[in-house]
Amino acid sequence: MKIPNPSPLVNKFLAAAASNPDSGTAGERNTVERLVTGIIFLDKPSPNKIHEADVTGESKRAFYDHIHDLAQQMPSHFRQMFSNLQGDPKIAMNGGGFLIIDEHVIPHSSKHIEGVDKFYSTTERGVVLGMSLLAVHYYSERVDYPVDFDFYRRYRELEARGDVTAFEEKNQLARQFFTKFASMKNAPDTWLMDSYFMTKENGGLLQHFHKTYISRPKRNWNCNYQGHTYSLYELHDHIPAEDFKLTQVKNPKTGKRKFYHTATVDVYFARIGTHRLVLVQCGEATAMDEVIEGNPEILEAPSKNKFRVFVTNNTSWDASYILSTYSLRWSIETSFQGMNQNLALHGCKWRELSGQKCFLALTFMCYLFLSWARVHGELEQYGVKRGTLGQSRRAFRRYCVEQFAEWLTRLKQQCTECAPADYIYAHLYDNDAGK
């Protein structure tokens, strides 16, 4: 299937997300539209494949020139689009939503790509060669989408390239995200993160911004409970058995439910103050129909009892709410999976980091577009009202097929007996258009 004239729906989105619809050259605006349409519409998209699928576009040289001109600017374009769309009540963030931060390793086969090193991947459950993507995802009951990203680069990789001045620790990048979103008036009040990002410095900064968070505490933390200092491992054995209550946990996104035995205690941590802990007992059926998280982090008390522990700085929340809300953290993991399956998240082969960032910005832009189109009802007639990323993509592809069919119809009316039309009918529309 070919891609005909510029997509009216994508252009409508780009106009809605633009500070100035006339900013940039016409060629650059058309290139962004072609890339967004092509990434969503085609399987395993690449600039070359997108250009080949374009029936009415510019020359390949001009197309590639525009891509190279836009590469450095694309991350800024995405962030500006996201910012502009905060004026749209249907897709804007709100204080009752959640911001989720996580790392995702994008695998690569070549160590010569800028930013590539060996990282531990929770998806692969081992060390892989790739790039460390730090991303922030917004979730609310109505809509979810990625809101920002950066790449973490190891010191040794930068040292090998003679650029150690660019080194920033992973949690330093996280604090930049915390600070950025704290300045946005409509940003959510609550952050969800795994234990890697639950440092006392991060917790202190979020409290400084009057934000709440739900996470897992570091395994090596000590806490003060009822006048005594305990490690997290020891704490479990000092909570009476009768304090563990049957608690229902429901994932707000999937509706999936499960009962757990939990105990809730308030403890004091040095530097960050009083926090609420939820301890979850682990039995043989822990991994069955898991609701809270995809990769449970299990601790073992001196008594050999196994448990999990979660932490929040909001001591008014009960165990059911804390665990149900934390289960939404998995939304960012499913967004990575969705982008890999539907938007070629792992498909960029550019060696330069600027090219990788350009591609990531385009991928996030495509996700944002599909979310925008869905909440505005643009995809409803094509089968999606509240669907997944994959369902939204399939709906958009049906829209593109419809647009292409209409274009062919107009072409046939304009040119019924000419060589170009005969060629298009015979070769471009799945080889069946002229039959």
Q: For 268-305, how does the pLDDT look when each residue is reduced to its tens digit (9 = 90+)?
A: 999 999 999 999 999 866 667 799 988 888 999 999 99
Give me the pLDDT at residue 131, please: 97
Distance from the first to the final alpha carbon of the chain: 16
pLDDT of residue 315: 98
Position 430 scores a pLDDT of 47
pLDDT, tens digit, 9 for 90 and up, residues 249-266: 999 999 999 999 999 999
> In this structure, is the dihedral angle defined by the CA atoms of residues 105, 108, 111 and 114, taken in order, positive or negative?
negative
pLDDT band at 432 (very low <50, low <70, confident <90, very high): very low
- Checking if the pLDDT of 395 tops 80, the result is yes
Question: Among 191, 194, 249, 192, which residue's Cα sits nearest to residue 219?
Answer: 194
- 326 falls in which pLDDT band (50, 70, 90)? very high
Confidence class of residue 236 from pLDDT cuts 50, 70 and 90? Answer: very high
Half-sphere exposure of 328 (CA within 13 A, CB side): 23
Q: Are 59 and 30 in contact (CB under 8 A)?
A: no
Measure the CA–CA gap between 229 and 205, rounded to whole angstroms: 24
For residue 72, give both structure tokens.
Answer: 């450095």
CA-to-CA distance for 329 and 219, rounded, in angstroms? 19
Reply yes or no on whether the pLDDT at 435 is more than 50. Answer: no
Predicted local confidence at residue 431, as pLDDT: 45
Q: What is the reported pTM?
A: 0.93
SS3 of 192-242: the string is: ECCHHHCCHHHHHHHHHCCCEEEECCCCCCEEEECCEEEEHHHHHHCCCHH
In percent, the amount of the chain with pLDDT more than 90 equals 74
pLDDT, average across residues 179-203: 97
If pLDDT is split at 50, 70 and 90, which confidence band does 426 have? low
